[in-house]
Chain A
């Protein structure tokens, strides 16, 4: 186990709704990255948070947004859900220092959009 936790485990929403996913980073880690993994594919980078600010973003629209809190936990918010948003959402925590930036993943949140 990595010590990275995510909630909820599963979630079912309908098109147009909004969703918030949560992630608690591993003890000692100060950086959280979010990934989307569609069925049968590799994870795709959404964005990363460091010191409560977005630090890099992948090719995802603005309706994907996030937050990082002082305790380094993080939220991923998705507005105006679309069917293609159905995926496993993964967060990964790391410690942003030279040579110690391995990303450790949580178990993921399975989002189904109907």
Chain B
């Protein structure tokens, strides 16, 4: 969850293509992982979550994959649309979810 300043990793994807956003999390004791989407000037919007006893979870057009061995999380967005353009954050939490630790964030741009 360390910040890296203004230079967010960026990903540009053609509209209609699939996108994959990756995240390395820091705490092997984390039990709960979430992806949020944040559009400019707005608060983070919940996309999908997964618990540590799962390695894959699917939602509408989105899939989250969890690899606990290498502490890696990914978000796959199928058939991207212009409205998917935003900054995407992964976050990790403990069993009681007292605190979420956010990753760096990735700026996704959908090219029409």
Contact = CB atoms under 8 A, between A and B. Distances in A.
A96 B98 CA distance: 9
Contacts, number: 72
Interface residues of A, number: 28
A112 interface: no
A94 B43 contact: no
Interface string A16-39: 000000000000000001010011
Given A102-B34, A105-B45, A107-B42, A45 B100 contact: yes
Contact of A42 (B6, B7, B103): B103
B32 A101 contact: yes
B8 interface: yes
A102 B43 CA distance: 15
B3 A48 contact: no
Q: Is the interface of A mostly helix, strand, loop or mixed?
A: loop
A45 B104 contact: no
Contacts of B7: 40
B8 A43 contact: no
A55 interface: yes
User: Which of B32, B46, B103 has the most chain A CB within a 10 Å cutoff?
Assistant: B46
Interface of B: 1, 3-8, 32, 34, 36, 42-46, 49, 89, 91, 93, 96-105
27 contacts: A4-B43, A33-B98, A33-B99, A40-B3, A40-B6, A41-B3, A41-B4, A41-B5, A42-B1, A42-B3, A42-B91, A42-B102, A42-B104, A43-B44, A43-B102, A44-B3, A44-B102, A45-B101, A55-B98, A56-B96, A56-B98, A96-B96, A102-B46, A103-B46, A103-B100, A105-B43, A105-B44
